[in-house]
Amino acid sequence: MKRKTYRIAVIPGDGIGPEVIEAALEVLEATGVNFSFQHCEAGDGCFAKHGAALPEETLKHALESDAVLFGAAGDTAADVILRLRRELNTFVNLRPVWALPDVPCLYPKTKLVIVRENTECLYRGIESEITPGVVTATRVITQKASECIARFAFEYAQANEFHKVTAVHKANVLKKSDGLFLSSVRAVAKNFPKIIYDEALVDAVAMHLVMQPERFQVIVTTNLFGDILSDLAAGLIGGLGLCPSANLGEHHALFEPVHGTAPDIAGENIANPTAAILCGAMMLRHLGEMASAQQIESALEETIAMGQTTPDLRGTLSTMKMAQTVIEQMKAR
């Protein structure tokens, strides 16, 4: 029986994006899964070249693909990744924060997941200048989006053997917007009686994450809070270079490392490819290729345990050499 060929839109973007995405693609190809990669342009360089940060052709390929693999965008990020999330209707931003074995970090046993609502809040970009020197930003929270993200969080917890979901908010100040978010999550929580549900203020969560991250398993929250907390949580396990993410909707999926363009090391071939490689593994799981995803994750852990890493993890390898070492470990299994 002929295996399916997955159509993947590849958008390397700016800075270290092309370097880490190239590394991830080599690892994906080594799994033996059939891919058809469509390389697309977007980001600062694309804007300088074509006058558009996200060309319609790139968007077309993203919409027609089985998944999108995205690197990073610089100053044009709002025009690229935010629009991609919106056009693909990926209402979930899933950010696992799992400590990898043998990585120097603050909390080596950390295993939590941040489920971030991806379509509204302040990231809708509704801003107005009332008068010179006075600007407002409109925060949009809806019952529908809040219920959708809550349902995903509880279903994810249930499917992945987590037994606790925490809704993070600031309803003591944002009484109407976060009040609506909380009432929506509470309504969904009633359908999952076997999962412990609690609520916590975002500022308190920031403190507890750096003191007792084991208090949390699945965090569900609004767009801005999720963005901030996921970067904070990355610091617990060794940094952004280790953190993948998925943008998921009913019909589309986009995978991107949490780190940005890292312009200070762009072009030096020393960027840590771990997050991008893990994005590839997340993509494989989304496509139903579980064994191949596990193959990548195990080989990556073995590579790190051997100390065969980039300089940020105290190793001496280049970006591509680390990826090639992961491939060698995959073949040795």
Tell me which H or E stretch contains 252.
none
Per the CB < 8 A criterion, the answer to whether 229 and 219 are in contact is yes
Q: Strands 253-257, 121-131: parallel, antiparallel or unpaired by DSSP? A: unpaired
Catalytic residue, candidates 75, 109, 198, 203: 203
Structure token pair of residue 189: 């929580």
User: Annotated catalytic, 170?
Assistant: yes
53 within 8 A of 27, measured Cβ to Cβ = no
Determine which one of 6, 14, 227, 321 is catalytic. Answer: 227
Q: Which of 66, 79, 102, 231 is catalytic?
A: 231
| Structure-token match 């139903």, residue found | 288
Tokens of 182: 């909380």
Q: How many CB atoms lie within 10 A of CB 212?
A: 10
Q: What share of the chain is helix, strand, coil (3-state, %, to 5)?
A: 45, 25, 30
Task: Please report, for residues 82, 92, 303, the alpha-carbon distance to residue 73 in angstroms, rounded to integers and kept in the order given.
Answer: 10, 20, 28
DSSP line for 149-192: HHHHHHHHHHHTT--EEEEEE-TTTSTTHHHHHHHHHHHHHTT-
What are 39's two structure tokens? 């390389």
231 is catalytic: yes
CA 141, 87, 55, 23 torsion-angle sign: positive
**Of these residues, 107, 123, 156, 197, which one is catalytic?**
123
- Beta-ladder partners of 92: 117, 248
Active-site option among 66, 79, 102, 170: 170
Q: How far apart are CA 292 and CA 32, in angstroms?
A: 8
Q: Cβ(30)–Cβ(285) under 8 Å? A: no
Beta-carbon contacts of residue 290 (< 8 Å; ≥ 6 apart): 284
What is the gyration radius of the CA atoms in the chain, in angstroms?
A: 20
What is the set of active-site residues? 123, 170, 203, 227, 231
